[in-house]
Amino acid sequence: DIVMTQSPDSLAVSLGERATINCKSSQSILYRSNNKNYLAWYQQKPGQPPKVLISWASTRESGVPDRFSGSGSGTDFTLTISSLQAEDVALYYCQQHYNAPYSFGQGTQLEIK
């Protein structure tokens, strides 16, 4: 089974500053035949279901602000929020959809400093 590990567990960033969350998979989730990384990033606010922000490691979903970006390949991935806004306070999860079980990272709590 693939284990997803996020760092840090929590992060406090000032408004307008950059926030960076890392996600590492225990094995490569790059599918060579199509050169796609099978990784998604989700945002979850209190009392709400998760919302997908980024798919295929770096493709921003429709309607997601362009301050959110994803990068990385193979086993190491990053979610970056270029200029933190108050509404970005949330839990963030990465998930691999390379093979079952489709594991999530443990989550990163993002707060305002």
Contacting residues toward other proteins, per CB under 8 A: 1, 38, 40, 42, 44, 48-52, 55-56, 61, 91, 93, 95, 97, 100-107
Which CB sits closer to other proteins, 17 or 61? 61
Q: Which two tokens stand for residue 66?
A: 């362009």
Pick the closer one to other proteins by CB: 38 or 68.
Answer: 38
Q: In the complex, what is the shortest distance from the CB of residue 20 to other proteins, in angstroms, rounded to a whole number?
A: 19
Which tokens is 21 given?
């969350």
- DSSP state, residue 98: S
d(CA 84, CA 98): 30
